Amino acid sequence: MTRAATLPATAAEAMVTVPKTLPVGTTVGQVRAAFEDDHVHMLLLTSEGALLGTLVRADLDSAVPAAAPALGLATLRGRTVAPDEDLEEVRLRMIAAGRRRLAVVGPGNRLLGLLCLKRDQSGFCTDAGVAARARAGHP
């Protein structure tokens, strides 16, 4: 059996297909509240299916008021990947950059999914794993 038949080869084949998103009008206070969940590592700000920004905890500035728009702190730089990129190359880049999440985007920054590198860096979370965790009462 070949690698292609057993393991995902591209970002699109390994991504979580229904990542949690927040609307583009989300506030900094709402982002802070979302990051209170230890399972949340990256927040995706979207509008009509397009990814407009991503946020990780390090993006938050305590001096920014809670009512401020979160998009002002968000970025896409270094946080997206094309669906056809080689998964092993992406995994190695993520490890080197110290990242565990990358948004998978298509043309026009259309959000397709989210790559979630497992804590042990051996592979990626799956839709089935996320669903199982949700059924068990974990977000």
Segment 98-112 shows an average pLDDT of 96
Residue 138 confidence (pLDDT): 60
pLDDT band at 3 (very low <50, low <70, confident <90, very high): very low
Segment 46-67 shows an average pLDDT of 96
The amino acid present at 5, given as its one-letter code, is A
Look at residue 121 and give its three-state secondary structure. Answer: coil
Look at residue 139 and give its three-state secondary structure. Answer: coil
pTM of the predicted model as reported, rounded to 2 decimal places:
0.88
- List the chain domain ranges: 8-135
CB 80 within 8 A of CB 57: no
User: How far is C-alpha 9 from the geometric centre of its chain's CA atoms?
Assistant: 19
**How far, in Å, are 9, 53, 54, 61, 95 from residue 39 at the CA level?**
26, 19, 16, 20, 19
Q: Does domain 8-135 have CATH number 3.10.580.10?
A: yes
